[in-house]
């Protein structure tokens, strides 16, 4: 699989997730994830944006806000994979309401260096000197302020999975630093590789 190009890897992962989803009980998966069964599938909010996951096909579509007259459209393939994995992994464990660094997640050390250099490093590089811009971006994504770091926000990635972004402003003596934290029970709702993907998604959307 390592020899496949990125598009083929995504398709391989999506096909596998769809096969597992087709064999799953959608109502049971939805209940464990804290999601609702809707007319056309399972309604899954992702960072507050509603998505519909059909069963048994495993199509994942983004629903636009009611005031936007635009039809639903297919989610990016990476988001499709994450939402399917979320429904398949969720076991109903209540949130812990305490934070873990990425390296503290199950198998997190395996991905920690790449995650720190990519998601957290990019966030520190692009917004470490712009706390006001970070705050505006976080609030536009539905973040709630936390009393951590120089600026920090909590985001509801899924109904029972929260993540946080923390930023320390750099100065002439110390470089800016950023951390992305996860609810301590995040492993009950996604594999760690997908949690890394959520961190990357959040960092890029805050910067954008």
* pLDDT tens-digit readout, 11-21: 999 999 999 99
Final residue of a structural domain among 38, 61, 89: 89
What is the C-alpha to C-alpha distance for residues 45 and 35, in angstroms, rounded to an integer? 8
The pLDDT tens digits for 28-67 are 999 999 999 998 899 999 999 999 999 999 999 998 765 5
**Claim to verify: residue 80 and residue 132 sit in the same structural domain:** no
Give pTM, 2 decimals: 0.91
**Claim to verify: residue 78 and residue 106 sit in the same structural domain:** no
**Claim to verify: residue 12 and residue 75 sit in the same structural domain:** yes
58 C-beta neighbours (distance < 10 Å), count = 22
**Claim to verify: residue 80 and residue 115 sit in the same structural domain:** no
User: What separation, in Å, do the N-terminal and C-terminal C-alpha atoms of the chain show?
Assistant: 31
What is the C-alpha to C-alpha distance for residues 85 and 24, in angstroms, rounded to an integer? 12
On whether the CB atoms of residues 169 and 130 are closer than 8 A, the answer is no
Which domain range does residue 19 map to?
6-89
pLDDT at 3 over 60: no
The pLDDT tens digits for 107-125 are 999 889 999 998 999 999 9
In a domain, 125, yes or no: yes
- Name, in order, each residue with C-beta under 8 angstroms of 182's C-beta and a sequence gap of 6 or more: 99, 100, 102, 105, 161, 162, 163, 164, 195, 199
**Claim to verify: residue 31 and residue 83 sit in the same structural domain:** yes
How long is the chain? 208
Conformational region of residue 132, where left means phi above 0, alpha means psi within -120 to 50, and beta covers everything else: alpha
3-state class of 128 per DSSP? coil
Angle (nearest 5°) at CA 116 between 81 and 156: 50
**Claim to verify: residue 69 and residue 165 sit in the same structural domain:** no
**Claim to verify: residue 103 and residue 203 sit in the same structural domain:** yes
**Claim to verify: residue 61 and residue 107 sit in the same structural domain:** no
pLDDT band at 2 (very low <50, low <70, confident <90, very high): very low
On whether the CB atoms of residues 60 and 80 are closer than 8 A, the answer is yes
pLDDT band at 171 (very low <50, low <70, confident <90, very high): confident
In a domain, 1, yes or no: no
In a domain, 19, yes or no: yes
pLDDT at 1 over 50: no
pLDDT at 72 over 90: no
What is the C-alpha to C-alpha distance for residues 202 and 190, in angstroms, rounded to an integer? 16
In a domain, 94, yes or no: no
**Claim to verify: residue 84 and residue 104 sit in the same structural domain:** no
Number of domains in the chain: 2
28 C-beta neighbours (distance < 10 Å), count = 12
């Amino acid at each position: 699989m390592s020899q496949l190009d990125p598009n083929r890897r995504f398709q391989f992962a999506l096909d596998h997730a769809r096969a597992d989803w087709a064999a799953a009980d959608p109502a049971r998966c939805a209940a464990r994830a804290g999601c609702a069964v809707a007319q056309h599938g399972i309604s899954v909010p992702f960072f507050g944006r509603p998505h519909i996951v059909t069963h048994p096909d495993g199509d994942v579509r983004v629903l636009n806000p009611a005031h936007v007259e635009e039809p639903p459209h297919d989610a990016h393939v990476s988001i499709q994979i994450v939402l399917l994995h979320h429904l398949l992994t969720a076991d109903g464990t209540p949130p812990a309401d305490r934070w873990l660094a990425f390296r503290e997640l199950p198998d997190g050390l395996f991905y920690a260096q790449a995650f720190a250099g990519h998601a957290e490093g990019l966030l520190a590089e692009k917004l470490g000197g712009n706390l006001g811009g970070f705050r505006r971006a976080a609030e536009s994504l539905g973040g709630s302020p936390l009393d951590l770091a120089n600026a920090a926000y909590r985001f509801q990635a899924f109904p029972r999975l929260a993540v946080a972004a923390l930023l320390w402003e750099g100065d002439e003596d110390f470089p800016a630093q950023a951390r992305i934290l996860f609810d301590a029970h995040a492993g009950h709702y996604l594999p760690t590789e997908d949690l890394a993907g959520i961190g990357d998604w959040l960092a890029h959307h805050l910067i954008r």
